[in-house]
Amino acid sequence: MPACPVKLSRRKNSVLNGINMITVYGIKNCDTVKKALKWLDLKNIDFQFRDVRNEPVEATDIARWLCHLEADKLINKSSTTWRSLSDADKAMAAAGKITDLLLAHPTLMKRPLIEGDGILHIGFKEADWTALFAV
């Protein structure tokens, strides 16, 4: 992983590159994202939702995530989007061009991805989120 200037620290009112609220990245019609958003609502956790189809991520977002996550955890290789990619596009992942690939195909991102308050996590499992948010 590249050296990362952004540290993940969890403390009251912590800020991660200007992020002081949980942001949930995903697509609105994803069942897992729907479950995650419902869970956050039930736990009264403030968040903002960012649909990556309507509001694509930027290269700086991806670079920040890659500082703390392995590239293969960021790409959903079992998705419909992945299966529909050309061999040349799939080769981009193997060549480490994850940023370019996600900019071109934002729905390749595993989801939900949550970021903020010192948290950077992919996927939704209730037990994991309960531990992450200490609820």
* 30 flagged as catalytic: yes
Q: Tell me which H or E stretch contains 74.
A: helix 71-74
Helix (H, G, I), strand (E, B) or coil at 19: strand
- Joined together, the tokens standing for residue 10 give 């969890």
Which of 6, 8, 14, 30 does the annotation list as catalytic? 30
Residue pair 82/75 in contact (Cβ under 8 Å)? The answer is yes
**Which residues are tagged catalytic?**
30
